[in-house]
Structure 1
Amino acid sequence: YRNAVKTYRNAENKEQKREMKKLIADIKGNFKTTLGLSDVNKTKLRRLEGEVENLQGQIFLIPETKAERTKREKKIAKLNNEIDKLKVEIEDIENGRMYENALEWRFEFPEVLNNDGVFIGFDVVMGNPPYIRQEEIKELKPLLQTNFITYSGTADLYVFFAERGFKILKTQGQFCYIMPNKWMQAGYGKALRTYILENQLQEIIDFGDIQIFEEATTYPCILNASKQQQNTNFVSATVKTLNYINEFAVYIKSISNQIKVETLNDEIWVISSDSDQKLLSRIKSNCVSLAEYIDNKSFRGILTGLTEAFLIDNNKMIELINQNSKNKKVIKPILQGRNIEKYLTPNIEKHILFIPWHFPLEINSNIKGASIEAESVFQKDYPAIYNHLLGYKEKLERRNSVETGIRYEWYAMQRWASDYYEEFEKPKIMYQIFQTKPCFIYDEQGLYCNNSMWIISKADKVLLAILNSKMGWWLISKYCTAIQNGFQLIWKYFGQIPIPKANPKQGEVITSLVDQILTAKKSDSKADTTTLETEIDQLVYQLYELTPEEIQIIEG
């Protein structure tokens, strides 16, 4: 094969090249593998055959019972079945059948080898790697962890295709993928970000939430890079439309920005214009992260595992309380993340049956796992609620099979915020995870929420104003993952937006304006508070100490 490759690479004419290509194809077709005795499959085969031999040759001082003989024969049959399958697998490997439908690039592209048959790499690697989520590749994870430095347990499959693409490049070779843009912000993309910075980042074209594949909802970007020393700058472009007048390349050139590579590290990549980058850098130096500002007290809503069982309307709430006033203890007002408008607390139409693990003995730390005692007390003390949930028992038991009835009782919520449920009772900020416009509300009613919403456990109306302002939305657009027409406020990223600390006088003025908006919205949900919100926008700009030019950047 090496001789054929050498002749192919140095062929004097097309005929000689064709002959060598045919020879290489013949070699590929006849490729065989010889597995040594230490091979893992051969070792396993010997072990299984040994087990069968021992079971078949057993000598019994006391004759085995019929049941024992049946059990031994079943085990022998099972081992023989494994042996037959393993022999077929070994034969397939040794006969080269595993290569029949494989694309082995050293056979297909002899140009990537030097005259000695040593791999030197491709000039160009370009492609569209599979968009397969990490949940679908669980069985591959041990293999991926062993073979890829970009491995993360939550990384989607395209991450590993990106690393492999760079690995099969020759020095100074060109890399170009269209792939999901999540690696720039996701925690699982940290190792990939580091890996790319070890090469030459040339261009990132981000399509944001624009859908370019008809058959799937994706958030793609085009990554151009090279396997060589890093540049000082790279080109960034954020595509706003697919209805451009000229060719795509001309359109990209018209919206491109030069960004300094030194502004990037393994943390979240905020890919914006140079002016945006400078503004963000200055703001960050004068602020703290949202996570630090609120002492990291942001929490996910309740996850019941079966909404229809735990969610009740006002009529059902009244019915249960009339049957026993004690039931009021476990009935909580809840927001479902629907029809939420900023500053407006909607009318409460639904309540949740708040049933912790081991209820009503949830404070008993000695209970480990599903408790028969807890269920007995629940049935006795809260018969109406117990009977209501009993109607859903079959569905409730089909929830997470490794937990329901094992870690907690069939009637309990799946995730009941055991470490922070008290925070729902306090004044707080609540927000939707998926937002197409600023949507933060202030709650003083002790509202709970489902897992489509989160809470910020801080009674801070200045923070509410910042998050609902134009400035807040601009920061969200820089730090959070794009979705169609909006952003996904994953706490890991949302918690990094910079927040300024208002002095007492600033805080007093902004709080007064927020109170006016809240009062107006409470009296009339459709009240026009545009003037008050505009005043807040200007005061928030002052908090961030923005210049008129910087305000223009925020307002586009």
Structure 2
Amino acid sequence: MSDYFRQNGVNTTFLSTESWVILCDIEQAIKTKIEAIGTPLKDWNISINYGVKTGYNEAYIIDGKKKEELIVEDPKSAEIIRPLLRGRDIKRYSYEFADLYIITTFPSLKINIDDYPAVKQHLMSFGYDRLKQTGDRGARKKTNNQWFETQDSINYWEDFYKQKIIYPGIMRIAKSNSLNFPRFTYDESENFFFGNDCYFIIGEHIEYIWLILNSTLLGYLFRYYIYSFDETGFKMFTDYFKNIPIPKPNHTTLNQANDLLHEINMEKIDKWVYSFYNFSEEEVYEIENFVQKLIYEEES
């Protein structure tokens, strides 16, 4: 036993009261380089928020057919119906729109539902007792909102109309596509809304951040910063996610990012990200092998 410990022991330094992890030499070297060069997302000029909590998705999320019916009945309905992405619709560098929409009767908008008779009738078809926000049995949780409004106020509703990165709150490794991890999509102009199964980022250098978040290196970093559960995926809690360190850009790296955006090539993007850290071939192999092993185990 003593021989085993001498051969496999790892030196670890405890410099603070923060959480720690025992790593082998190459893992420690990778983590040290990443943290020396990267800046935690919480220190960037960005904001992270979650999607819309309706309290009753069956009433507020509709398909394209119902959307058209409501607009034909009353053209003003289009003012409060927006395209919706779900967590499952988000892919690596892309998305698949499922022709779903959300009725955006946010309390912060102070909507008069009588101005939208078709939408009002649609919501009423689910029953006042089910939509009221009193906390009664069978109703939505108790709030000060009116019966037709969503559960959350969504005071940041204007942020949905900004360029943004969208990602699922639970990021499972797709068994049907091993290249689909990690996955963050970029909404430049579609103005997508989404439910509370997603989060989104707005702010400075969004496209640059988006490229890095989809890199293989970020899949590797999940082991240190993101909460893993039941061996099937990761819970993207903001308290953890905001600690992921990413290198701040300069004029050169922003120009490089702009070039990479013209044609998404995952291999080129990975090499670009690795170049920030001056990783050795052995370290790159360790990163890619870990992510491939993670995917393989999830698919098994």
TM-score range, shorter chain: 0.7 to 0.9
Partner Cα distance (1:553, 1:470) in 2: 11
Partner Cα distance (2:141, 2:228) in 1: 35
- Name the SS of the counterpart of 2:212 in structure 1: helix
Residue 79 of structure 1 corresponds to none
Residue 413 of structure 1 corresponds to 150
Partner Cα distance (1:452, 1:325) in 2: 30
- AA of the residue aligned to 2:129: E
Change (3 A) 1:271 1:315: farther
Residue 37 of structure 2 corresponds to 286
Residue 340 of structure 1 corresponds to 90
User: Which of 230, 233, 246 is the matching residue for 1:486?
Assistant: 233
User: Which of 487, 495, 507 is the matching residue for 2:242?
Assistant: 495
Residue 442 of structure 1 corresponds to 186
Q: Matches of residues 3-82 of structure 1 in structure 2 within 5 Å?
A: none
Residue 469 of structure 1 corresponds to 215
Partner Cα distance (2:82, 2:234) in 1: 29
Deviation at 1:404, TM superposition (A): 5.1
Q: Matches of residues 75-474 of structure 1 in structure 2 within 5 Å?
A: 258-263=10-15, 265-295=16-46, 297-357=47-107, 360-361=110-111, 377-379=112-114, 381-392=115-126, 393-397=128-132, 400-401=135-136, 406-418=143-155, 420-435=156-171, 436=173, 437-444=181-188, 445-458=190-203, 460-474=206-220
Residue 25 of structure 1 corresponds to none
Deviation at 1:318, TM superposition (A): 1.0
Higher relative contact order (CA 8 A, sep 6+): 2
Report the number of matched residues. Answer: 273
Partner Cα distance (2:61, 2:254) in 1: 38
Partner Cα distance (1:465, 1:378) in 2: 41
Question: Contact 1:287/1:499 (CA < 8 Å) preserved in 2?
Answer: yes
Partner Cα distance (2:260, 2:30) in 1: 27
Partner Cα distance (2:249, 2:14) in 1: 31
Alpha-carbon deviations, 1:129-160, whole Å to 9, x = none?
A: xxxxxxxxxxxxxxxxxxxxxxxxxxxxxxxx
Q: Which runs of no fewer than 5 residues in structure 2 stay unpaired?
A: 174-180, 290-300
- Name the SS of the counterpart of 1:258 in structure 2: coil
Change (3 A) 1:416 1:493: same
Partner Cα distance (1:308, 1:542) in 2: 47
- AA of the residue aligned to 1:449: F
Partner Cα distance (2:141, 2:34) in 1: 47
User: Which of 484, 508, 524 is the matching residue for 2:255?
Assistant: 508
Deviation at 1:398, TM superposition (A): 6.6
Calculate the aligned-residue CA RMSD, in Å: 2.7
Alpha-carbon deviations, 1:354-387, whole Å to 9, x = none?
A: 01127535xxxxxxxxxxxxxxx422x1111111
Deviation at 1:456, TM superposition (A): 0.8
Change (3 A) 1:414 1:256: farther
Alpha-carbon deviations, 1:36-76, whole Å to 9, x = none?
A: xxxxxxxxxxxxxxxxxxxxxxxxxxxxxxxxxxxxxxxxx
User: Which of 269, 277, 285 is the matching residue for 1:536?
Assistant: 269
Alpha-carbon deviations, 1:233-291, whole Å to 9, x = none?
A: xxxxxxxxxxxxxxxx9xx98x965251515x443434433432333233212221012
Alpha-carbon deviations, 1:409-451, whole Å to 9, x = none?
A: 1221112421x21111111111112222201111121101111
Partner Cα distance (1:424, 1:357) in 2: 16
Alpha-carbon deviations, 1:288-335, whole Å to 9, x = none?
A: 10122243x011111111000101111111111122222111101111
- Name the SS of the counterpart of 1:338 in structure 2: helix
- AA of the residue aligned to 1:410: W
- Name the SS of the counterpart of 1:262 in structure 2: coil
Question: Contact 1:477/1:487 (CA < 8 Å) preserved in 2?
Answer: no
Bigger Rg, structure 1 or 2: 1
Question: Contact 2:67/2:101 (CA < 8 Å) preserved in 1?
Answer: yes
- Name the SS of the counterpart of 1:284 in structure 2: helix
User: Which of 242, 258, 283 is the matching residue for 1:550?
Assistant: 283
Partner Cα distance (1:424, 1:475) in 2: 28
Partner Cα distance (1:473, 1:340) in 2: 16
Q: Which runs of no fewer than 5 residues in structure 1 stay unpaired?
A: 1-248, 362-376, 518-531
- Name the SS of the counterpart of 2:186 in structure 1: strand
**How high is the sequence identity, in percent, across the aligned residues?**
29
Partner Cα distance (1:259, 1:398) in 2: 56
- Name the SS of the counterpart of 1:414 in structure 2: coil
TM-score, normalising length from structure 2? 0.82
Deviation at 1:344, TM superposition (A): 1.4
Partner Cα distance (2:9, 2:101) in 1: 50
Question: Contact 1:334/1:447 (CA < 8 Å) preserved in 2?
Answer: yes
Residue 118 of structure 1 corresponds to none
Partner Cα distance (1:399, 1:455) in 2: 29
Deviation at 1:403, TM superposition (A): 7.8
Deviation at 1:503, TM superposition (A): 2.5
Deviation at 1:511, TM superposition (A): 2.6
Residue 168 of structure 1 corresponds to none
Change (3 A) 1:431 1:358: closer
